[in-house]
Amino acid sequence: MRAAPLIVHTAGAYQGPSSATLLEIEARVAALESFDRLLRDRSEAVRREDGIHYAEILPGLEVWRALYDRGSGFPPDLQRALGSILDRTQMLDDSDLAATPPIAQTGLWPPAGRFVCDELEWLAFRRDTLVDCGVTPETFCKQVATIFPSLVLSSEFPKCLETLEGGFEMFMPVVVRALTALETRLLPTLGNLPIVDGLKQFTAASGFSTTMEGSAERNEALTFAFGSDQAQRRLVCAPHMKLDTSPMSGDTRHYYNRIYFNPHQDDPDAVRIHVGHVGCHL
């Protein structure tokens, strides 16, 4: 299992373009402050490169002068804000890199390579790297609340993941892609469409065949419990995505794996999608 992802403030992300202006830096520092708070609230591993202070944040103005030279002309409020972010960020060292963690850069300007500077970009990075980290079903479920904030898992988890034909480890890339589609595409695609028509649109948008269960007689088997014992809610999850192709090159076997979910289309204020089961066909 690889190390958890790292977010790194890099020198390249503080090297301003020749067209950089103080007004632009003000906006970028404000956005970086907000992103830094999010990362710390989520207990993300964040580091900074040693060479950041020698990058030119403005043409001819190095970061160290902008932050610590009172005669630099850099506004005191920006000195405090940017200095606070960098000073409380641990320095990157060899031990951080020993396990070759997935890395995304952050800072003021996007350099070459993966760059994240807001919540949506960070979530996309975490989803992309989840597979590389090789987590267990238990750890996977714990991370869902963070990286798939619109999804709610039933009490079937993590046990149901062990029923995946082909195994959880092999199908994990497919599961992550499917859950990402649920998280980012389902509700906008469904809109006010009838559920059957909406799922057809979602099939085209997600690349996963998604349909309703054909018989109401199956509702009992597709009813799942959500929440704690004190506030438990039971929901029918009749819509389902078909995970029938493995990610392994040359594997032509047809797999009968499913994701059963409830999009709460009857509730216009709903923003959560309840996922009852990820595993074998029920």
C-alpha distance from residue 79 to each of 10, 40, 73, 132 (Å): 18, 20, 10, 37
User: What pLDDT was estimated at residue 134?
Assistant: 74
Residue 63: is it exposed, middle or buried by C-beta count within 10 angstroms (0-12/13-18/19+)?
buried
Check: CB of residue 44 under 8 Å from CB of residue 37. Answer: no
- Name residue 60's amino acid: G
User: What pLDDT was estimated at residue 269?
Assistant: 53
- Name residue 209's amino acid: S
User: What pLDDT was estimated at residue 230?
Assistant: 66
Check: CB of residue 91 under 8 Å from CB of residue 81. Answer: no
C-alpha distance from residue 100 to each of 132, 133, 159, 267 (Å): 11, 10, 30, 45
Token representation of residue 98: 């020993």
Neighbours of 90 (CB within 10 A): 10
User: What pLDDT was estimated at residue 2?
Assistant: 62
User: What pLDDT was estimated at residue 12?
Assistant: 96
Query: Which residue from 232, 234, 237, 233 is spatially nearest to 265, judged by alpha carbons?
Result: 237
| All residues at 6 or more sequence positions from 90 whose CB lies less than 8 Å from its CB, including other chains | 46, 47, 48
Check: CB of residue 229 under 8 Å from CB of residue 206. Answer: no
Check: CB of residue 186 under 8 Å from CB of residue 179. Answer: no
- Name residue 229's amino acid: D
**Distance, CA of 8 to chain centre:** 17
Q: Which residues pair with 105 in a beta bridge?
A: 8, 115
| Rounded Cα–Cα distance for residues 209 and 67 (Å) | 54
Tell me the whole-structure pTM to 2 decimals. Answer: 0.83
Check: CB of residue 172 under 8 Å from CB of residue 140. Answer: yes
Which residue has tokens 């509702």? 219
| Rounded Cα–Cα distance for residues 270 and 121 (Å) | 24
**In a structure prediction context, what are the per-residue pLDDT tens digits for the chain, which is 282 residues long?**
567 789 999 999 999 999 999 999 999 999 999 999 999 998 899 999 999 999 999 999 999 999 999 888 999 999 999 999 999 999 999 888 887 788 999 999 999 999 999 999 999 999 988 887 778 899 899 988 889 999 999 999 999 999 999 999 999 999 999 999 999 999 999 988 899 999 999 999 999 999 998 777 888 999 999 987 667 889 999 999 999 999 998 989 999 999 999 998 666 556 789 999 999 999
